[in-house]
Amino acid sequence: MSGSADLDFIRFYIKDYPPKEASGSIEEAYGPRLIGTGEFGRSVNQIERVIDLLQKKPDTRRALISIIEANDLEPNRSENPCTVALQFICRRSRLHMITMMRSNDAYMGFVHDVFCFTMIQELIARSLDVEVGDYHHFATSLHLYEHNSNDISRYLNEGYQNPTFAMPEMPSGCQRDNLAAFLITEKSIRQGKITTASQIDLPTYWRDLSLVLLRHADGKLKRGNKILEENFSQISDSFYMNFFLRKPKTTRKSANSGPTQIKLDLGDRYDS
């Protein structure tokens, strides 16, 4: 949403983002394609165009964001987007979204794609003052790789997942100004200019998201538990609790009752 293609930015969150030998800006990044920052010749803000189209004609079938481009499919390209397009349909004051993928890694990609794309859906719905509708995700190839099998098993056995526990809803009303302020906050967190919750002045929803990013920065920059505790105490919604828990390296399932319940005291909340 920042429109950036900076590899260091991406690797702050995904340290092993390929290709390993790459540096600077990466052409397959979604940011310039979505926001049109001019990088790599892309100058159309496709999100704003979708909002404008749906405001002018709510029943339009043309509200579509194209991610993949013709030159992405050249044989010599080492990386290219897995996403083909995002389409938005407004019916009966509900904004529905359809995502089309040429390829999708079910473990490394799918779960993150659904989160990111439905956030965009919710953001656009708020700008249009309509409800969030259905989300449809079509992947021509949805797959797992054998080298991820141990990680997948370990993740599923953790027992922290709760599919009935919904993320907080985005506030009503257009959120573009709040998003812009959030992106400024994110950059300051990533650059180490913001280190404590007291430095973040955003509405509750966006502040909580910022604190989750601050939690990531605390761990990455190896700041002490005193700072972690202060930031943890500022979270407003318990949905984000798991981001502040230190999960054990291994978990054991009970034969009859599913994942073992692990009692966590204050000293176990944080990653070392």
pLDDT means per 10 residues in the chain (272 residues)?
A: 93 84 87 91 94 97 95 86 97 98 95 95 98 98 95 84 81 97 96 91 95 87 66 80 64 44 37 32
Q: Are residues 131 and 16 in the same domain?
A: yes
163 occurs within a structural domain? no
The model's pLDDT over 131-174, given as tens digits with 9 standing for 90+, comes to 999 999 999 999 999 999 999 998 888 777 767 778 899 999 99
Beta-carbon-side half-sphere exposure of residue 117 (alpha carbons within 13 Å): 28
pLDDT at position 266: 34
Q: How many domains does the chain have?
A: 2
Pair (150, 183) in one structural domain: no
Looking at the structure, tell me whether residues 27 and 150 fall in a common domain. yes
In this structure, the answer to whether residues 45 and 108 fall within a common structural domain is yes
Q: Is residue 167 part of a domain?
A: no
Write out the DSSP string of 228-268. HHHHHTT---GGGGGGGS---S---EETTTEEPP----GGG
One domain for residues 183 and 57 = no
Whether 109 and 52 share a structural domain: yes
Is there a domain that residue 222 lies in?
Answer: yes
Question: Is position 171 within any domain?
Answer: no
Question: Are residues 26 and 143 part of one domain?
Answer: yes
- Regarding whether 65 and 182 lie in a shared domain, the answer is no
DSSP 109: I
Q: Which domain holds residue 58?
A: 7-157
How far apart are the C-alpha atoms of 33 and 47, rounded to whole Å? Answer: 10
Pairing verdict, β 253-254 and 83-91 = unpaired
Domain assignment of residue 2, yes or no: no
pLDDT tens, residue by residue, 176-194 = 999 999 999 999 999 999 9
User: Of 126, 157, 188, which residue constitutes the final position of a domain?
Assistant: 157
Q: How many CB atoms lie within 10 A of CB 131?
A: 13
Query: Are 48 and 90 part of one and the same domain?
Result: yes
Do 180 and 73 lie in a common domain?
A: no
